[in-house]
Structure 1
Amino acid sequence: MARRRKHWGWGYEDQQPTAQQLRGAMPLVRERLGFDAQDPEEPVPLGAAAVPAASPLPPPPPGVTWDADAHARARHAWGSSYLDVVRGLRGRFDHAPDAVARPRDEAQVAAVLEWATETGVVVVPYGGGTSVVGGVTPAVDGPVVSLDLAALDRVLEVDAVSRSARVQAGALGPVLERQLAEHDLTMRCFPQSFEFSTLGGWIATRAGGHFATGPTHVDDLVEAVRAITPSGTWASRRLPGSGAGPSPDRALLGSEGILGVITEAWVRVQPHPEHRGGRAVRFGSFAMGVEAVRALAQSGLQPANCRLLDPAEAAFTGAGDGGHALLVLAFESTDAPVEADLARGLELCAECGGEWDDAPSRGGAAGAWRDAFLQAPYLRDVLVALGVMSETFETAITWERFGALREAVVDAARAALDDPRAMVTCRFTHAYPDGPAPYFTVLAPARRGDEEAQWWAVKRACSDALLAAGATITHHHAVGRDHRPWYDRQRPEPFAIALAAAKAAVDPAGILNPGVLMDPLTAPLP
């Protein structure tokens, strides 16, 4: 029997820790966070969960698989944000779709959109459900269907000469990589959500992989995109680059399902790297590490990994001692040894006060960080069950403004939480020549029963601080519903008008994921 995803939280049903295991994790919370966990809270079973009755729907398109059982509807009610996990744990599925459509090909996708346009049913495109910003939550008035693309999960074609592959949008990260491995190739895109996120989801949200420099955003890896809209097929020409007007691919990148349903894409691939080398570098202060990362980002070396953790983050993940900032530095190549690049990178770190052990970083501190990175989504479910608030805020800003930004966000989070036990850490997920992508983690005792108000207080305070400092509201988590108020303030007004007009042109009935990125035009186009 196939494993089934949990109706709440991360992972499969057989991966839910027992109450005894949760109690066994309580001392670790005290050890790593400095405050006590609360009594373990077990998830409400699906049979006892509050899944609203489904609204009646018109007969579905012929041949399309249609699920309206409690598990399918609950599974598609939320994404994977902290609040989504809290609500799911408690058995709350306020915005469960009325049904889940599971098309098997593009023709069925088009049939669902035509049916929805004619009947006025809202459609929310759904990949792996890993959104942490409310991007797949069907929080709309009236009947709604979640359009799950899981069946479109094949690598359809590989061009080994140009090093590209044509891939269906519903392919999960591991499924995509296994199929590419049959051709000794890799897409080299590994977001933290890799296990359960899809190629289409990466494109729709402009996801970032964990490689810290060079081609790391999915933007850099897309060669062409194909989508089905209510007004027809949106397909770009496959090219290495083009100056022919605004890019049709760029319009779909980050569109979060409001312009069309991404069904496939040509993506850039490469052989698996044969040469690797790295070290875990310690710094006496986070500021020293910041200068080292800036030097590395501006050197042209393009390390594959260049993740800087502040002392508290390093200690929490088990990668550091709490007294030093830690830089996980690594190089890789498909063509030539990397020892010279690594040596030069370490020279730059030494010039900024960095120190390291002679042993390679595959184990030790770097290995501990990597394991923590991959297990973080599972750990968050455990923390929620133990009454720990665990939330992240990520952004990007130019180097000269980073210091003020970090101070403002940390101060804002602490003031909003008003709890001396709260921990606010910072790390760099990506580094560019002109600036870093800081990632803030907030860990604090949750106010059980009042988590939503507690979370929104921190969310508003940190988001306001980000925009006031000149940073972006998101670097790779997308906008969704949660970031909308700040995205509306960040984007230029003429662009907002243009986006609304594009939405009205391709989706005149406004059925695709309304409320995400923008509101529909109040009047139709002439």
Structure 2
Amino acid sequence: MSGKTRSWWGWGNVEDAVRGHEREELDRRTAHLLPGADLTVHEAPPIESFGVGASRVEAPAALASIVSADVRDRLAHSHGQAFRDVVRALLGRLPHVPDLVVRPTSEGEVGHVLDWCSDAGIAVIPFGGGSSVVGGVEPRVGGGYAGVVSLDLTSMNQVLEVDTGSRAALVEAGTFGPHLEQQLKPRGYTLRFFPQSFEFSTLGGWLATRAGGHFATHLTHIDDLTESLRVITPSGVVSTRRLPGSGAGPSPDRLFLGSEGSLGVITQAWVRLQDRPRWRAGASVGFAEYDNGVQAVRALSQSGLNPANCRLLDPMEALINAGSSTAVLVLGFESADHPVNVGMERALELCRDHGGTLNESPRYTDSADQAARTGAADTWRSSFVRMPYLRDALAAQGMIVETFETACTWDRFDSLRAAVNNAAQDAMRQVGAMGVVTCRFTHVYPDGPAPYFGIYAAGQWGKTVEQWDEIKAAVSQALISTGATITHHHAVGRDHRPWYDQQRPDLFASALQAGKAVLDPAGILNPGAVIDPLNRPRP
């Protein structure tokens, strides 16, 4: 859409990679944070060096026009965008490459692909924008399959219908975030769903992973915005009824939300829209004591004010990404219906009750143009969008820069944070990676926060994937052991499976596996992600 070139190995667009003054500043800050780190830059290897073999399977003639066997295309569909994906690509280690990339343009073609692959024993990996950070689109499917197809839905990318009375839209699953908003804007609507991956992820990907958007409270998950789904499975079509709410048994929508393409391919969805916001307020609040900031956020989450942004950065996170020496709360309100001054003033009063101080006067705007935003909160927002590019730049310099997120009840947060810090620091010492742990809240609820932890460590080039895997295993076990979730909004994929299996009740796992056997009898859909097919070895 942008006319730019997507990177085949890393995040985003080639033209937007970190370079020049931004690279120099990043190196300076990294050297200050981690003195002695080796910041030698390593470039991605040439495509031909991967030695990708010929496809093991051949598509039926009727599908030939939508099939690609191009090596670059196949490599780009062989991994997601986690730290370990990026580094493995830089090291030339991408052992699991799909045999073909198939881009259907209709539900009929999706059904044809599933029929072919079911009959031929070919694994199918549904693929949207490829922004998975949990191994959700990696063709790591184990033995027993004749080949692997990456089913890229991005040719199905239109808003098909808008119901203005119900304020809802029927949207194809392959629609990227910016293209979706472009199609809604002339009608005065927005989905108001802006994950960090917004530019490079699709509606279908958000639905399949139960993604969380940028906004901290109220309608934060894609679940909240889903009215009905249409799903193509190897056994037939599932089309759920459009309803504002229903108490008619377990929700069929909920079965497929979060299923990560393991039960069927989501092709369309009716989603709930909102009027585009006009009034906004933003402020940045400092807290000398981090615990006071936590208590302020808890009070805000239970106040009923429902701020659009309520992102608390601990002192280290604030130092790295906002240039502050204290904890910082990035606070924001917005509305399409009324000015939000009263809500902001009450929120600031709550913050002051807990020792918060304003770093600058709150900003109020009366405009439907998001470009009107200014101030520290917007500096954070810009940094937020650039983070994946900075991550890639540091990953190419032997740094370990990765995140993991969770959610817990308020009574468990202190013990959770301590357990995660101890586990991460112990693991970093064991793997010989000097570094720091940061924490911020991305979403908050009346009964608990969603902490988002970051690891910044000086690794050893050539070994950073293994070093990170050790750290990841340690912190993941800490999450499960303290009663938190293995993921709040990044999905399960293959990377989270060992801990998701501990979190998930055993009887529910059996019921889900039985459901998969009905919907996907040949066990071809995204094997190894979320749930294993019956009668097949685990990848």
Partner-residue secondary structure (3-state), 1:409: helix
Pair 1:32–1:374, CA change in 2 (3 A): farther
Find the aligned partners of 2:156 and 2:282 in 1 and give their Cα distance: 37
Partner-residue secondary structure (3-state), 2:528: coil
1:164 aligns to 2:168 (yes or no): yes
Pair 1:499–1:3, CA change in 2 (3 A): same
Partner-residue secondary structure (3-state), 1:404: helix
Q: Structure 1, residues 199-223: CA drift from partner, whole Å, max 9, x if none?
A: 0000000000010000110010000
Pair 1:14–1:330, CA change in 2 (3 A): closer
Find the aligned partners of 2:290 and 2:171 in 1 and give their Cα distance: 41
Partner-residue secondary structure (3-state), 1:332: strand
Partner of 2:178: 174
Partner-residue secondary structure (3-state), 1:313: helix
Find the aligned partners of 1:252 and 1:337 in 2 and give their Cα distance: 38
Structure 1 residues 94-105: aligned runs within 5 Å = 94-105=95-106
Is the Cα–Cα contact under 8 Å of residues 320 and 365 in structure 1 kept in the other structure?
Answer: no
- Comparing 298-307 with 443-452, greater Cα deviation is found at 443-452
Is the Cα–Cα contact under 8 Å of residues 428 and 434 in structure 2 kept in the other structure?
Answer: no
Partner of 2:67: 66
Displacement of 1:37: 4.4
Displacement of 1:448: 1.3
Find the aligned partners of 2:310 and 2:35 in 1 and give their Cα distance: 28
Partner of 1:441: 454
Find the aligned partners of 1:103 and 1:94 in 2 and give their Cα distance: 25
Partner of 2:324: 321
Partner of 2:402: 391
Partner of 1:220: 224
Displacement of 1:226: 0.6
Q: Structure 1, residues 148-167: CA drift from partner, whole Å, max 9, x if none?
A: 00100101111111111110
Partner-residue secondary structure (3-state), 1:414: helix
Partner of 1:505: 518
- Paired amino acid for 1:286: Y
Find the aligned partners of 1:420 and 1:146 in 2 and give their Cα distance: 35
Find the aligned partners of 1:373 and 1:329 in 2 and give their Cα distance: 15
- Comparing 38-47 with 391-400, greater Cα deviation is found at 38-47
- Comparing 365-374 with 507-516, greater Cα deviation is found at 365-374
1:422 to 400, 410, 435: 435
1:302 aligns to 2:306 (yes or no): yes
Q: Structure 1, residues 121-141: CA drift from partner, whole Å, max 9, x if none?
A: 110000000000000001123
Partner of 1:186: 190
Find the aligned partners of 1:227 and 1:482 in 2 and give their Cα distance: 25
Q: Structure 1, residues 104-123: CA drift from partner, whole Å, max 9, x if none?
A: 11110000001111111110
- Paired amino acid for 1:65: I
Is the Cα–Cα contact under 8 Å of residues 128 and 201 in structure 1 kept in the other structure?
Answer: yes
TM-score (norm 1): 0.96
Partner-residue secondary structure (3-state), 2:378: helix
Find the aligned partners of 1:51 and 1:28 in 2 and give their Cα distance: 38
Displacement of 1:282: 0.3
Find the aligned partners of 1:84 and 1:151 in 2 and give their Cα distance: 25
Pair 1:25–1:399, CA change in 2 (3 A): closer
- Comparing 20-29 with 183-192, greater Cα deviation is found at 20-29
Unaligned runs of 5+ in 2: 364-372
Displacement of 1:453: 1.7
Is the Cα–Cα contact under 8 Å of residues 34 and 421 in structure 1 kept in the other structure?
Answer: no
1:458 aligns to 2:460 (yes or no): no
- Paired amino acid for 1:260: G
Find the aligned partners of 1:349 and 1:147 in 2 and give their Cα distance: 48
1:412 aligns to 2:413 (yes or no): no
Structure 1 residues 100-499: aligned runs within 5 Å = 100-140=101-141, 141=143, 142=145, 143-317=147-321, 319-322=322-325, 324-360=326-362, 362-418=373-429, 421-499=434-512
Unaligned runs of 5+ in 1: none
Is the Cα–Cα contact under 8 Å of residues 18 and 390 in structure 2 kept in the other structure?
Answer: no
Find the aligned partners of 1:73 and 1:358 in 2 and give their Cα distance: 49
Displacement of 1:92: 2.6
Is the Cα–Cα contact under 8 Å of residues 88 and 465 in structure 2 kept in the other structure?
Answer: no
Partner of 2:366: none
- Comparing 295-304 with 44-53, greater Cα deviation is found at 44-53
Partner-residue secondary structure (3-state), 1:57: coil
Displacement of 1:35: 5.2
Displacement of 1:71: 0.9
Find the aligned partners of 2:356 and 2:51 in 1 and give their Cα distance: 53
Find the aligned partners of 1:343 and 1:320 in 2 and give their Cα distance: 25
Displacement of 1:17: 4.8
Is the Cα–Cα contact under 8 Å of residues 60 and 66 in structure 1 kept in the other structure?
Answer: no
Percent sequence identity over aligned pairs: 54
Find the aligned partners of 1:23 and 1:312 in 2 and give their Cα distance: 21
Partner-residue secondary structure (3-state), 2:169: strand
- Comparing 491-500 with 353-362, greater Cα deviation is found at 353-362
Pair 1:174–1:103, CA change in 2 (3 A): same
- Paired amino acid for 2:7: K
Pair 1:131–1:320, CA change in 2 (3 A): same
Is the Cα–Cα contact under 8 Å of residues 50 and 94 in structure 1 kept in the other structure?
Answer: no
- Paired amino acid for 1:407: A
Structure 1 residues 52-63: aligned runs within 5 Å = 52-59=53-60, 61-62=62-63
Is the Cα–Cα contact under 8 Å of residues 311 and 320 in structure 1 kept in the other structure?
Answer: no
Displacement of 1:364: 3.8
Q: Structure 1, residues 258-294: CA drift from partner, whole Å, max 9, x if none?
A: 0100001000111111111121000012111000000
Find the aligned partners of 1:123 and 1:61 in 2 and give their Cα distance: 18
Partner of 2:79: 78
Find the aligned partners of 2:423 and 2:110 in 1 and give their Cα distance: 44
- Comparing 52-61 with 380-389, greater Cα deviation is found at 52-61
Partner-residue secondary structure (3-state), 2:187: coil
Find the aligned partners of 2:294 and 2:446 in 1 and give their Cα distance: 12
Find the aligned partners of 1:128 and 1:420 in 2 and give their Cα distance: 32
Partner-residue secondary structure (3-state), 2:199: coil
Partner-residue secondary structure (3-state), 1:374: helix
- Paired amino acid for 2:153: L
Is the Cα–Cα contact under 8 Å of residues 29 and 35 in structure 1 kept in the other structure?
Answer: no
Is the Cα–Cα contact under 8 Å of residues 409 and 449 in structure 2 kept in the other structure?
Answer: yes
Pair 1:247–1:192, CA change in 2 (3 A): same
Find the aligned partners of 1:116 and 1:64 in 2 and give their Cα distance: 17
Displacement of 1:475: 0.2
Is the Cα–Cα contact under 8 Å of residues 64 and 104 in structure 1 kept in the other structure?
Answer: no
Pair 1:30–1:231, CA change in 2 (3 A): same
Find the aligned partners of 1:58 and 1:149 in 2 and give their Cα distance: 17
Displacement of 1:58: 4.9
TM-score (norm 2): 0.93
